[in-house]
């Protein structure tokens, strides 16, 4: 799971010999299986599906940890993983701190490499695990600063706890608040348009992939995400956290719409374009029935107080929408 290689059956008396050989290859540096040991997929180095560099940013983050946080060279409680795209070959969504390669388009239509920052995932080691939450999307060149902010806060507010417990206590919004300033793309510099590990200007180029990622059904994955968001909405509702539940229901509805639009190869860059296009292509076209339209349904949250009654009915709306979208998708696939 951390891209290790196990060499078994070495005779005990030969271990020093093996150690010396591995040392010559540079494989005995401190930090094995610790925070410093960052997992990264090949990303844009060799994978045609890679959107942004994963090995380049991994090297930079390892440099940062060695220079600024040497205590993490021997800390096994923070697991950092990076993938060059959503296919997650680097298992970034199962890490305490994960980064996923993306791109960002400025209002002048310039494209910069970006990273989605995910937090709170992990493998408990007892058969249980947790998917990380997608917290913010930032220009790739701000990846080191994001890690600094997270580790500084962990040092101050999570001292002595495993990272997973610290994250669970604080919750996604807490991290969103202090990472949000990094998402501002109004002041990008020329450097922001050059990805880690290269000196050339960034160009988003995606082709046919050579790894397991190519067999993943993107639409099914998006619909699974919608189900997860509904589960989160139900759990937070059960805990009496109305605002959080409304947020998850909203995300589920937009994500369900995004799934069908993606299947039609419609661009899904912003929430407002997803809402508008879904209304136009599915509701107005009579393909999915939503009384009053999708925009009114999804944006009810702007017109209502986060009461228990509203939270409950909004969650029911999100569930009903997902059911309609899933049935539509099944019908479409059956017709193919
Ligand atoms: S398909 Fe896999 S190996 Fe290729 S960039 Fe995406 S996550 Fe990395």
Encode pLDDT of 39-52 as tens digits.
999 988 888 888 99
- At 208 the pLDDT is 52
Cβ neighbours for 16, distance < 8 A, ≥ 6 positions apart: none
- Rounded Cα gap, residues 163 and 126, in angstroms: 17
- Rounded Cα gap, residues 189 and 25, in angstroms: 38
Cα of 90 vs centre of ligand 1, distance in Å, is 7
- Ligand 1 site, residue 43, Cβ cutoff 6 A: yes
Whether this model's pTM surpasses 0.85: no
- Rounded Cα gap, residues 331 and 88, in angstroms: 29
If you average pLDDT over residues 72-92, what whole number do you get?
91
Of residues 184 and 212, which shows the higher confidence score?
184
Whether the per-residue pLDDT at 126 is higher than 60: the answer is yes
If you average pLDDT over residues 69-89, what whole number do you get?
91
Q: Which of 186, 115, 112, 104 is nearest to 147 (CA)?
A: 115
- At 32 the pLDDT is 85
If you average pLDDT over residues 93-100, what whole number do you get?
96
Give the Cβ contact number of residue 35 at 10 Å.
24
- At 199 the pLDDT is 85
Query: 269-328 pLDDT, tens per residue?
Result: 899 999 999 999 999 999 999 999 999 999 999 999 999 999 999 999 999 999 999 999
Cα of 85 vs centre of ligand 1, distance in Å, is 5
Strand partners, 103: 113
- Ligand 1 site, residue 84, Cβ cutoff 6 A: yes
DSSP per-residue letters across 150-192:
HHHHHHHHSTTS-HHHHHHHH-HHHHHHHHGGGG--TT--GGG
Q: Which of 160, 197, 176, 264 is nearest to 274 (CA)?
A: 264
* Same fold flag, 30-193 and 217-335: no
**Which helix (H) or strand (E) covers residue 224, if one does?**
helix 218-238
3-state helix vs strand vs coil in the chain, percent to 5: 55, 10, 35
Q: Is 14 helix (H, G, I), strand (E, B) or coil?
A: helix
- Ligand 1 site, residue 98, Cβ cutoff 6 A: no
Indicate which residue's Cα is closest to atom 2 of ligand 1.
89
If you average pLDDT over residues 116-137, what whole number do you get?
93
- Rounded Cα gap, residues 279 and 295, in angstroms: 7
- At 125 the pLDDT is 81
* Domain positions in the chain: 30-193, 217-335
- Ligand 1 site, residue 102, Cβ cutoff 6 A: no
**Quick one: pLDDT band at residue 9, thresholds 50, 70, 90?**
very high
- Ligand 1 site, residue 149, Cβ cutoff 6 A: no
- Ligand 1 site, residue 88, Cβ cutoff 6 A: yes
Read off φ and ψ for residue 133, nearest 5 degrees: -90, 140
- Ligand 1 site, residue 85, Cβ cutoff 6 A: yes
If you average pLDDT over residues 21-41, what whole number do you get?
90
- Rounded Cα gap, residues 274 and 272, in angstroms: 5
30-193 maps to which CATH number? 3.30.413.10
Query: 229-266 pLDDT, tens per residue?
Result: 999 999 999 999 999 999 999 999 999 999 999 988 89
Whether the per-residue pLDDT at 92 is higher than 70: the answer is yes
The Cα diameter of the chain in Å comes to: 77
Whether the per-residue pLDDT at 117 is higher than 90: the answer is yes
Specify whether the CB–CB gap between 188 and 151 falls below 8 A: no
**Quick one: pLDDT band at residue 107, thresholds 50, 70, 90?**
confident
Cα of 211 vs centre of ligand 1, distance in Å, is 7
- At 320 the pLDDT is 97
**Which helix (H) or strand (E) covers residue 215, if one does?**
none
Architecture per CATH, domain 217-335, reads as Up-down Bundle (1.20)
Of residues 235 and 76, which shows the higher confidence score?
235
Residue 131, burial from CB neighbour count under 10 angstroms (0-12, 13-18, 19+): middle
Of residues 208 and 117, which shows the higher confidence score?
117
Q: Helix 242-263 and helix 218-238: axis angle, to 10°?
A: 170
DSSP per-residue letters across 19-73:
HHHHHHTT---TTTTSTTS-EE--GGGT-TT--S-SHHHHHHHHHHHHHH-GGGG
Whether the per-residue pLDDT at 36 is higher than 80: the answer is yes
């Amino acid at each position: 799971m951390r891209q290790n290689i196990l060499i078994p059956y070495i005779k005990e008396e030969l271990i020093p010999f093996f150690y010396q050989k591995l040392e010559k290859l540079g494989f005995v540096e401190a930090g094995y299986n610790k925070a410093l040991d960052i997992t990264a997929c090949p990303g844009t180095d060799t994978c045609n599906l890679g959107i942004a560099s994963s090995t380049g940013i991994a090297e930079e983050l390892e440099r940062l940890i060695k220079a600024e946080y040497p205590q993490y060279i021997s800390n096994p409680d923070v697991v950092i993983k990076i993938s060059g795209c959503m296919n997650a070959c680097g298992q970034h969504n199962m890490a305490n701190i994960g980064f996923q390669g993306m791109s960002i388009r400025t209002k002048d239509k310039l494209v910069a490499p970006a990273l989605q920052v995910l937090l709170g995932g992990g493998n408990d080691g007892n058969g249980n695990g947790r998917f990380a939450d997608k917290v913010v999307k930032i220009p790739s060149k701000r990846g080191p600063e994001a890690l600094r902010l997270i580790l500084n806060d962990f040092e101050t507010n999570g001292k002595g706890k495993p990272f997973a417990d610290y994250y669970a206590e604080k919750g996604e919004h807490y991290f969103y608040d202090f990472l949000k300033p990094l998402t501002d793309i109004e002041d990008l510099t020329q450097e922001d348009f050059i990805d880690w590990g290269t000196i050339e200007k960034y160009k988003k180029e995606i082709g046919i992939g050579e790894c397991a990622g190519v067999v993943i059904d993107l639409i099914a994955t998006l619909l699974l995400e919608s189900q997860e968001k509904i589960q989160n909405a139900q759990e937070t509702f059960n805990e009496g956290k109305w605002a959080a539940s409304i947020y998850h229901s909203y995300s589920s509805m937009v994500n369900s719409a995004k799934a069908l639009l993606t299947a039609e190869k419609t661009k899904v860059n912003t929430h407002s374009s997803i809402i508008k296009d879904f209304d136009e292509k599915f509701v107005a076209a009579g393909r999915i029935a939503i009384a009053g339209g999708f925009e009114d349904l999804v944006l009810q949250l702007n017109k209502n107080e986060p009461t228990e009654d509203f939270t409950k009915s909004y969650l029911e709306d999100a569930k009903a929408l997902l059911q309609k979208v899933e049935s539509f998708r099944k019908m479409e696939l059956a017709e193919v």
